[in-house]
Amino acid sequence: MKLLTHNLLTSAIIKGVKEGYPLNLLATEVKVLNVEYNCEFIKKMLGRVNWPALYKAADSIGHASSLPKDVPENFEANEDFLKNAHHALLEVEVEEGFLECPETGRKFPINKGIPNMLLNEDEI
């Protein structure tokens, strides 16, 4: 599961959960892939990404060292920042672990890079 995917997921569908975002990331296996850099895609995605949630997720798995805590002003012209954001969003892959609801502690497994967000009947 890419950190870009993590940034879009929520557990707000669980009964009684108000926000459910961001999910805590508990990784047991992480790998880094080589993904072709696309500057324009990253610029567009950064407008949709919750940066503090991305930074927290990257930090929790040891991949935040090249990321600033905040998106820099005029980030569109900052090639180093864009490449580091590309790396975090698209190249860091969580293969095994869990996503944890910040409100209930409910853990959703990640197996072979795929998060399983299916709910139990009593959670609907």
**CA distances (Å), origin 98, targets 7, 9, 81, 92, 109:** 14, 13, 28, 15, 4
State the average pLDDT over residues 37-47: 97
For 67-86, the pLDDT digits (tens) are: 999 999 999 999 999 999 99
State the average pLDDT over residues 9-22: 97
Supply the mean pLDDT for the chain: 97
CATH of 3-117, one of 2.20.25.10, 3.40.630.30, 2.60.40.420, 3.40.50.300: 2.20.25.10
Q: Residue 26 contacts by C-beta under 8 Å, 6 or more apart in sequence?
A: 60, 97, 98, 99, 100, 107
Tell me which H or E stretch contains 80: helix 79-86
Q: Give percent of the chain above pLDDT 90.
A: 99
State the average pLDDT over residues 26-46: 98
Is the pTM above the cut of 0.75? yes
State the average pLDDT over residues 6-24: 97
User: What is the pLDDT, as a whole number, of residue 59?
Assistant: 98
User: What is the pLDDT, as a whole number, of residue 12?
Assistant: 97
